[in-house]
Amino acid sequence: MPHDLTLVLGGARSGKSRFAEAEVTACLGPWHYIATAQAFDDEMRARIGQHRVDRVQGWITHEVPFRVADCLSALPSDAPVLVDCLTLWLTNHLLAEHDLHAEYAALEAALSNRHGPIWLVANEVGLGIVPDNALARQFRDEAGRLNQRIAAMATRVRFIAAGLPLALKG
């Protein structure tokens, strides 16, 4: 089990990244930022660029769309880390048709080996109506399952709405 793992759940534009960043930067730095977004188009590039501008200096950024477990294992075990976000990481693996169960197991093992504090940002995507297409339903189910698994091993879980946290755990 990780010593200090916070899962930060929330919807789109709920302020979950900003909340997590504020908690990380209250620790002694440097802080490691694992960015899982892939810039497929201009809209995505603009979002990633804006996130980068929004962050204060002092972050070491790692762009890791797939191998988050390997990246975590390569970092100093007690360094503060933010992974933003888990749901994009899942999306990347789903679209690449990777074996999700192997990926989940590798991620959980890497998380368990951390000694320093770690924050994982994830989207809650299951609170709208049932999507029309089967891939969207599969994504929604997997995202929910992954959130449950990470929440089970987390020491703290926060649900963010309008920038404000509700404590689900810890």
Catalytic residues, by residue number, are: 51
CB closer to a second copy, 3 vs 145: 145
The tokens of 64 are what? 């890791």
Q: Could you tell me the smallest distance in angstroms from the CB atom of residue 135 to a second copy? A: 10
DSSP string, 50-75: HHHHHSPSSEEEEE-SS-HHHHHHHS
Segment 62 to 121, residues that bind a second copy, using CB under 8 A: none
Q: Could you tell me the smallest distance in angstroms from the CB atom of residue 107 to a second copy? A: 15
Of 64-72, 76-84, 113-121, 143-151: span binding a second copy (CB under 8 A): 143-151
Among positions 5, 7, 71, 120, the unique one binding a second copy when judged by CB under 8 A: 7
**What are the distances in angstroms from CA 170 to CA 42, 79, 97, 146, 153?**
39, 21, 34, 19, 11
Find out whether 119 and 20 touch, Cβ atoms under 8 Å: yes
Q: Could you tell me the smallest distance in angstroms from the CB atom of residue 102 to a second copy? A: 20
